[in-house]
Structure 1
């Protein structure tokens, strides 16, 4: 048995087949040097295997690698890149663990902020209840709003009073430090003829800023100081006449602090909360929308004069984060070095082939070809495309992890900050897992996904361009025509999301049922909506999706049906199959007669002979035909058998090499 588990044919001349990495490579029998011809052949072989050639082949073997390969019950293990693979596995494991731990901390802080936001809504907004906290779909109620001047003034008074009484009334710990206060901004309009408005022409927009103080009164009780407030008194002091009647917006800006204790660590999370209570009627239609926005930051507790330990990231492990930094830096260094090494090997290969191409590949001196095809050199670039997501992943991970390790202490956290670093780490994690797919060419079945995508990508791109043009038409039409009457089409973004959902047939009935025919100006809108959705679903669900699936199935079937080297032409494949047939001796003899230098041939036979000489050659000693070397880097690399350390365990054989195995290309 040879090293690939194929019975050796010691009694018959060996056939050297090396077009593909999956072909059988039988050791070439060396002729005994009993004749001068045999000595010349041996001398020629020794001459062609120059030191430069061996060095270049070694460099190519190091560059085109695959850590592990399973073929013909043999597991090929390549030490150098197996170590690199182990580094990536360790890095990915640590990164995944860090992401899970950091995700827990971020989710907990988000929960604290969200619950505090809901508390302030209940505390500051008059009439707010739990029914407004859910987001039912379709919406069960309209906007939270007021419609009378009295309700508006009561809402403003309530918000101001509750803010100043929060330290007493609120269940949670809220505190106003010396820098905390509440200010108001009233934006209103004037136009000619509106009571005592001093405007001669057009509409005049005015904005008034003032601190909450003149309408604020204090009442001393047993539990502490209780505050009351009247916006009417404040406006009277400011000499503003009926601003509520002509109000566009009223904004109450405030600052307040809070402390959240942590039971397990006995530390505290101190928060600074900046908020705005807004009363908005931007077109003065009589509906004043009421809302509260807050920005919560984690701060150091000493700024509040609270003598407790600050709560840091509870779950995130600093040692794991530091280990991630170390392995990411190692990965970046290895990736950059492989880029530089790839450029070096490509230049060395180019120089060698330019000098020795015709002699090595037995190309006629009169032939025009003098170098490998361009796509062979593109393999240096294509192989390193896998390193691009890996390098981006490492950079993202280092940037995000550095903040986790060194930036959390002494910094003020806000949700947007944590979210931004979570996105960075999340993208790094996705790309890190994606880059691991390069190692899944252990067996041909594992890279069917990428082979299929590569085969179908051009057809899919052309098809999707046409589909996108059609989609844009439906998108614009849906937003313009249906937007005012359906919440799912009220913005360009929601329209696009709705159309994407409808591709899979989601909520077709709900989308149609949400149209209120009573609100439309014409009954044609309702009819158009049903026709529009029906046509869109039919086109995209029945036609577009199925054609897209057919494109991938066609590429998959083509990949499965392609044996051997996919870059071989039909003639080369056919001749290769004929040569490898055991009962093809007659055809072999015909090829030998055609390729032999003796005899007269017709013009057609001469043309065929010239073509065959580029593919196969004859062995004068054994009168057998052999495959000639393909003009590829694969053929050049495989022209030398590696020395391996092999061992067998049961029905499996393990082969270890410092370089590469039968398939050096990690596509």
Structure 2
């Protein structure tokens, strides 16, 4: 007779029933199921089938309920603000800390760059005015301050002699630049005079016979350039004779434009400070003669493009510029680092949110047999994080460009592009502060009102823009030739937008040069209709849409906000953040896990074996130190 095999005992405890079912298997000839309850061990045959089925049903129901509560608690924790997450799991709000540090660093960086940018632009503008006085004949100081309406007309020449005399005046000022108050020098290392370049752009053929209304014309433009040296200019002492000697004829009937180009160097001593050395610049001066309209006047303008150069310095000027350069570089690197950290954290948060969204969709489909609504899925897309990612990218690019500018590694002017990156990024950074103010009910009203009103405002503005576009095109076409504010499509739109805000209405009515009585009346009717429609109707409706959204938000605060299916599901979880139910070892951060592994031992609960004579189970702490030094 063979020995019976040793029995393997398996135990199953059904929650909420205090019943332990013990399954045992012998050598295969017999099967015994014993049930241990509060009064001891009972044979499974003594339990009725209905009671057994009820026990299994309770067990399955418990599993579903437990899964729902776990999912609710997980979602509720996900949508908590940083303060509530700290209360729930003592998790340090590092994303919030990074944003605070970023605001401080970015704002300091912007203030320093704004000061230097102002000095750069203002210095370039002042030098442009100085060049206008030195190289433009009959330059008037009234043109230096932009005024509206303009006090003077465009600077122009009207005779051929004025054309040549203007060139002579510019050449004379360039070759005698040492007489200027400004410290201007030629661009060569030995300060020798560099030739001036005169370029003429003319139609290949352009002869006009006005007396019999005939012409000879070829639209191809021919470029002719001439280097005018100092000795060559002194020899002839007049540009007209100089051009004649070079057999270059100027046909004013075919002359499209002309350019007189030269460059000068200078040093900005004003930029010098306790830790900043002077800045060195090269100005590319271009005097343009514009005759493209062929209307009897040749417009005259001067442009000076600044380019920063590497200064060689002076041993007699003691400066701590190296310290200043190191501090600015350190600030730029800190900003790039903190923005890169913010970018990675927000990108990771968006990625984890999408993973949780797919998990929630799967849970709803398996548990309730339905698909999560679009509004519920949209809850997992945090637009604040998207805005933070955009401003991080802008600030990183702007800071890198700022570092290149301050190290003077750019030959061209990138100040404006860098300003756009840093300014727009800083704008979004301060907008992001609204997210944290939104955690408080008082400040969240503004955000919720804008969010509620946004769809209606978009539809309303679409209709208003169509009406506005009609008035803009109409005013540009009919009034453009006769009114300074309607000369172009852009100025027409700016004029109408200013009128909506009540700016300069009377001047718009009075600045007219209509010879036609019909146009005079049409202009009045046009403006009266536009003002009445937009100020009294459209603008009032625009405000009412916002006020209606504000009233709706106040009702929501009083009676409760409408909830989508996801919010309704989460609302069933009433566990407070400080209840301690959200603490879970599986949610620990990687840093905590690393410290636990290498620095200390964690006491884990060990569930001992059940006694056959008692339903209670014993626990004992177990120390696990996988290669760690136990403390």
TM bucket (normalised to shorter chain) is 0.7 to 0.9
How much does 1:45 deviate?
11
Rate the CA distance shift 1:446–1:499 in 2: closer, same or farther, 3 A: same
How much does 1:475 deviate?
0.3
How much does 1:105 deviate?
1.0
Q: How big is each residue's C-alpha offset from its partner over 1:568-603, in whole Å with a ceiling of 9 and x where there is no partner?
A: 6xxxxxxxxxxxxxxxxxxxxxxxxxxxxxxxxxxx
- Is the Cα–Cα contact under 8 Å of residues 73 and 570 in structure 2 kept in the other structure? no
- Is the Cα–Cα contact under 8 Å of residues 174 and 259 in structure 1 kept in the other structure? no
Provide the residue aligned with 1:376 in structure 2: 376
Query: Are 1:531 and 2:525 matched, yes or no?
Result: yes
Provide the residue aligned with 1:250 in structure 2: 258
Give me the whole-angstrom Cα distance separating, in 1, the residues matched to 2:287 and 2:577.
77
Provide the residue aligned with 1:8 in structure 2: none
Q: Which has the larger radius of gyration?
A: 2
RMSD: 3.8
More deviation, 440-449/186-195: 186-195
How much does 1:247 deviate?
3.6
Query: Are 1:66 and 2:76 matched, yes or no?
Result: no
TM-score normalised per structure 1: 0.70
Structure 1 SS opposite 2:266? strand
Give me the whole-angstrom Cα distance separating, in 2, the residues matched to 1:444 and 1:40.
47
Structure 2 unpaired stretches of 5+: 1-37, 39-50, 585-631
What is the number of residues matched between the two proteins? Answer: 521
TM-score normalised per structure 2: 0.74
More deviation, 178-187/274-283: 178-187
Provide the residue aligned with 2:542 in structure 1: 548
How much does 1:137 deviate?
0.6
Query: Are 1:438 and 2:435 matched, yes or no?
Result: yes
Alignment of 1:591-602 (within 5 A): none
Query: Are 1:290 and 2:300 matched, yes or no?
Result: yes
Provide the residue aligned with 1:392 in structure 2: 390
Rate the CA distance shift 1:275–1:217 in 2: closer, same or farther, 3 A: closer
Alignment of 1:52-451 (within 5 A): 52=67, 56-68=71-83, 79-80=90-91, 82-177=93-188, 180-189=194-203, 190-191=205-206, 201-203=216-218, 206-213=222-229, 216-218=232-234, 229-241=237-249, 243=251, 247-261=255-269, 262-264=271-273, 265=275, 267-302=277-312, 317-357=328-368, 370=370, 372-381=372-381, 384-406=382-404, 408-412=406-410, 414-415=412-413, 417-451=414-448
How much does 1:134 deviate?
1.0
How much does 1:657 deviate?
7.8
Rate the CA distance shift 1:462–1:84 in 2: closer, same or farther, 3 A: same
How much does 1:215 deviate?
7.8
Provide the residue aligned with 2:458 in structure 1: 461
- Is the Cα–Cα contact under 8 Å of residues 282 and 306 in structure 2 kept in the other structure? yes
Give me the whole-angstrom Cα distance separating, in 2, the residues matched to 1:101 and 1:93.
13
Give me the whole-angstrom Cα distance separating, in 1, the residues matched to 2:491 and 2:399.
34
Structure 1 unpaired stretches of 5+: 1-32, 70-74, 219-226, 358-368, 569-629, 647-655, 660-667
Q: How big is each residue's C-alpha offset from its partner over 1:333-390, in whole Å with a ceiling of 9 and x where there is no partner?
A: 1111112211221222233333333xxxxxxxxxxx5455443233212xx1221111
Q: 559, 562, 571: which is aligned to 1:567?
A: 562
Highest relative contact order (Cα 8 Å, sep 6+), 1 or 2?
1
Rate the CA distance shift 1:326–1:387 in 2: closer, same or farther, 3 A: same
- Is the Cα–Cα contact under 8 Å of residues 101 and 316 in structure 1 kept in the other structure? no
